[in-house]
Structure 1
């Protein structure tokens, strides 16, 4: 049985400057095997630059980053150590999908059998002989993922892998990432789809303005970033509201008969209602979503925000690379 227990990505004091601007600022983190680690942050937060430094495409201004114990360039066969998807369109457009993968395989002595395996794995069997330049965005993503998995690597690092995929494709990549982690591999993935990260990731590394904000499990991130509330439904909502209000307690309403209570546990609300003879139709603790927690934690770290976007999801922010943000 193959074991990847010693394989991980380790960044120590990682910093990248573009002129007077700092895109990545003293980042220290470890991406461990056996789990899917999500890499989150607003546009321009330094995610892409960090991933580029992991594989030596950008040189750090200071600090270090290693993959499986070595700098990426020190590995004799990098494709077998870390599979990377940074830009799915980085292919020779005149080559077929199969020939693109065969060319990559030849650089590391990978056989044709493995090329066929990854083509089947990503679902490109029917278009393997077509030119990559004619591929849709989703097909291009699948080819990029096939390239990343070609060397059967211990570590997989994917930047926005669900970009352009249809619902079936998103479900497929979610299952694939979980399966890779279950095999004990190190899986590091960035995404702007918070709902998808909530379903896929076990652990989160969150950055803003190039700095580390959180390095924590998904559940702990949500719990620490947002206050719990309780949804209460009652035909006597107005009367109950007066009983609940007090120091440290806030009560809001989205519709008649509904109360959203923050600062009191369900048990206390139920006890006060019972003592006053108030009927309750519903008493449900509500936990914020990952997207809500992300927006709350990164609110002050968003450097490029569309007009009127405060409080909206990060889909409202203009897409900018870290280099553009630092310019």
Structure 2
């Protein structure tokens, strides 16, 4: 279990992590999400004792990371895949870590096989691709067979097969009763593996929830409805907290604020035949974007927006010289 209580980190006047409270329990995958600069990596560094908190605490199974005599056998972590001497082979790197904890050679061979590194185990890590470097970092994290796994962007640089492998690995680790804490920017992957979401922005906790609940809240019970009498159906469904939109010349309505079951019941009671009654899904990505829209520090502009801005600037110049 990972517990963060009022965890805070300041760098001068900059507050990178602001009184974070959350708990990651065993037996599931917790997705750690937030925009760039939200404080995710800093939080993970605080949990692992790589940075000292300005305030609050971060405990793993009731203790600070630094209090473990054999940390590799308690916590497996990947924060930076390239933290390896480039002149060492993958095997030598893992054996060096194993020696520090009395881990046998057979375990090194097991994690090499588990992570698909057999063909490159004797090659220098400095020549590894980003994806191979990620696999080596994950092998190091799993070396001590730890009960807690913390991974920062583990799918970064992996090909589709590697992404699917990570997905299956995280799910299997959680099924074994381990605590799995993973940050990622790939919402589609998080949606498939995470039971629990911790979302932060500007160092503050924005949500501590599940994928299902976050999507449900963002969707607002949006339902597509098509019936024999759209005008009457609209009147029937209208009410406080209900928004209804339609397409001109179409039988379709999109209703927000009423669940599909309620819509169907009202239509049936009024004798209106329905041709379609479909909940409109909201993706995790959209739900995340809606939640964090006010917490994004780094905004880019679209080509269309830049073109429009350029046109406005030119029009202003023309007006000023007329």
Task: Specify which of 258, 262, 265 is matched with residue 264 of structure 1.
Answer: 258
* SS in structure 2 of the partner of residue 153 of structure 1: coil
Q: Aligned residue for 2:181?
A: 188
Q: CA deviation at 1:252?
A: 3.1
- 2:129 aligned with 1:107: no
Of structures 1 and 2, the one with the larger relative CO (CA 8 A, separation 6+) is 1
Structure 1 contact 226–296 (Cα < 8 Å) conserved: no
- Cα distance in 2 for partners of 1:128, 1:73 equals 30
- Cα distance in 2 for partners of 1:268, 1:213 equals 31
Q: Aligned residue for 1:159?
A: 152
* SS in structure 2 of the partner of residue 107 of structure 1: helix
The runs of 5 or more residues in structure 1 that have no matched partner are 1-7, 310-327
- 2:59 aligned with 1:80: no
Task: Specify which of 288, 292, 295 is matched with residue 294 of structure 1.
Answer: 288
- Cα distance in 2 for partners of 1:111, 1:142 equals 20
- 2:277 aligned with 1:250: no
Q: Normalization by structure 1: what TM-score?
A: 0.85
Query: Superposition pairs for residues 1-327 of structure 1, below 5 Å?
Result: 8-234=1-227, 240-241=233-234, 244-253=237-246, 256-270=250-264, 273=267, 279-307=273-301
Higher-helix-fraction structure: 2
- Over aligned residue pairs, what C-alpha RMSD do you find? 2.2
CA change 1:271–1:180 in 2 (3 A) is: closer
- Cα distance in 2 for partners of 1:211, 1:122 equals 34
For structure 1, which segment, 30-39 or 229-238, has the greater mean C-alpha deviation from structure 2 after superposition?
Answer: 229-238
* SS in structure 2 of the partner of residue 105 of structure 1: helix
Q: CA deviation at 1:278?
A: 5.4
The runs of 5 or more residues in structure 2 that have no matched partner are 304-322
* SS in structure 1 of the partner of residue 101 of structure 2: coil
- Cα distance in 2 for partners of 1:33, 1:289 equals 26
- Cα distance in 1 for partners of 2:262, 2:67 equals 60
- Cα distance in 2 for partners of 1:131, 1:252 equals 60
1:101-130 deviation line (CA, Å, top 9, x unaligned): 111111211121111000000111111111
- Cα distance in 1 for partners of 2:264, 2:2 equals 48
For structure 1, which segment, 184-193 or 256-265, has the greater mean C-alpha deviation from structure 2 after superposition?
Answer: 256-265
Which of structures 1 and 2 has the bigger CA Rg?
Answer: 2
For structure 1, which segment, 261-270 or 66-75, has the greater mean C-alpha deviation from structure 2 after superposition?
Answer: 261-270
Q: CA deviation at 1:157?
A: 0.2
- Cα distance in 2 for partners of 1:136, 1:127 equals 11
- Cα distance in 2 for partners of 1:237, 1:306 equals 41
- Cα distance in 2 for partners of 1:247, 1:291 equals 28
Structure 1 contact 228–288 (Cα < 8 Å) conserved: no
* SS in structure 2 of the partner of residue 298 of structure 1: helix
The total of aligned residue pairs comes to: 302
